[in-house]
Amino acid sequence: MSQHFRSAFVPHDLPAPIAGAAQGPLAGLTVAVKDMYDIAGTRTGGGNPDWLDAHPPAPAHAAAVRRLLEGGATVIGKTVCDEFFFSVTGANAHYGTPVNPRAPGRLPGGSSSGSAAAAAAGACDFALGSDTGGSVRVPAAFCGLYGIRPTHGRIDMTGAMPMAPSFDVPGWFASRPGVLRRVGEVLLDAGGVRANLRKLILVDDAFAEADAEVAHLLRAAIDAMARDLPEQVHDAAAPHGLDPWRESFRIIQAREIWGNYGQFVEEYQPKLGPGIRERMEFAATVSERDADKARKEQKRARERICDLVEPGTVIALPTAPCIAPR
């Protein structure tokens, strides 16, 4: 295995691939799995060696992993992620940063960094990640992949380490759109679903935050896509500004991750990498009152998006405001 491939996988990787069902919609496909999902007989590390050492091997596969195996996929390994999934850069101070095969020398994006790197390098046909605040979408953009964050709550998270359950959802990467769809038909029970798409909304307030070069390239792609949609309009996602939405997400995320890992951090004093340590320190200061206030803003944001995205509507906005940083 080349260094490009190897950097995507954790040191405590599987001793051997795990074959899926002999027949199924994913038969013949290989998958790499983010080190947040339990795989029976192995330990789940969540990007942090101290967490790995403190926990026993998993007794069973995570629900999403089980579905993929039942669908015929072969699991080839567990991939590196940002520790406790608390970053979108893809850097890990303990295991190293996976190489971005599409842009060596640039960050792969996170927190599903290794999964994206493995898929982009051709180490697997698709890779399982998770998305809380961009952890599939950002690595997909940085590594030149197709990636999807499904609707929250559509896929069972049992057997996966949580980050912020109000936002956590499994997601996946593929280099080919047909493979992305086949995985969705297994994980989402979405076979045969058809959408009558007719309207494209360009989200101007999101485009305004993107670098000029990124916005220009995306608009060219959107122009091509829009030929198949009869109606194209411009609108703002957040008429009163995106900052309240960003802050409410930050507060809820911090409150929930501290609820999941605060006791471990206080009792075990694990080694935390730069950035992660500071975010955990902030999370420790967020009160339930702070989170309740943020949830009210979250509710307003959800209502706004539901109003904006009517049946048959596609919204287009930049996944990330810039190309992959160095």
The CATH number of the domain holding residue 149 is: 3.90.1300.10
Q: Are residues 24 and 143 in the same domain?
A: yes
Q: Are residues 158 and 215 in the same domain?
A: no
Instruction: State residue 47's pLDDT score.
Output: 99
pTM for the whole structure: 0.96
Closest C-alpha to 165, from 189, 200, 128, 130: 130
Q: Are residues 122 and 251 in the same domain?
A: no
Q: In what order do the strands lie in the sheet with 126-131?
A: 74-79, 30-34, 126-131, 169-174, 146-148
Residue finishing a domain among 134, 163, 187: 187
Residue finishing a domain among 161, 187, 213: 187
- Return the CA Rg of the chain: 19
Provide the CB-side half-sphere exposure for 242 (13 A, CA).
Answer: 10
DSSP category for residue 43 = -
Instruction: State residue 193's pLDDT score.
Output: 67
Which residues neighbour 146 within 8 Å (Cβ) at sequence distance 6 or greater? Answer: 140, 173, 174, 175, 176, 177, 180
Instruction: State residue 142's pLDDT score.
Output: 98
Instruction: State residue 192's pLDDT score.
Output: 63
Chunked into runs of 10 residues, the chain (326 residues) has average pLDDT values of 80 96 98 99 99 98 99 99 98 98 98 99 98 99 98 97 99 98 92 81 95 91 85 94 98 99 98 98 99 98 95 94 96
Instruction: State residue 2's pLDDT score.
Output: 61
Q: Are residues 87 and 210 in the same domain?
A: no
Q: Could you give the residue numbers annotated as active site?
A: 34, 111, 135
- Torsions phi, psi for 301 (to 5 deg): -65, -45
- Torsions phi, psi for 275 (to 5 deg): 90, -50
Q: Are residues 56 and 177 in the same domain?
A: yes
Q: Are residues 158 and 203 in the same domain?
A: no
Number of domains in the chain: 2
User: Which structural domain range is residue 278 located in?
Assistant: 195-326
Q: Are residues 245 and 266 in the same domain?
A: yes
